[in-house]
Amino acid sequence: MKREKLTTEQVLEARLRYAAGEREFTKLARDYGVSRPTITNAVLGYTFKHLPMPPRRVP
């Protein structure tokens, strides 16, 4: 089984894209070459907890 890996830069970039309104985890996963659960967990902070989260947008 292949181990999926995201770099610190990729996680931070994906989090910024999500904060900017990109909500399609399938597209983000494809862009970074990982599975949907991997990118979802990274973007939402379930993994890579040591990295900062972008500020939440106020509607």
Work out the average pLDDT over 2-15.
88
For residues 15 and 54, the answer to whether their CB atoms sit within 8 Å is yes
Average pLDDT over residues 10-29: 96
**pLDDT value of residue 55:** 85
pTM, rounded to two decimals? 0.86
Could you say which DSSP state residue 55 is in?
Answer: P
Give me the residue label for tokens 């993994």: 47
What is the overall mean pLDDT for the chain? 91
Which pLDDT score is estimated for 56? Answer: 77
How far is Cα 5 from Cα 56, in angstroms, rounded to an integer?
26
Sign, CA torsion 37/40/45/51: positive
Q: How far apart are CA 47 and CA 50, in angstroms?
A: 8
Would you kindly state where each structural domain of the chain is located, as residue ranges? 8-44
Residue 1 pLDDT greater than 60, yes or no: no
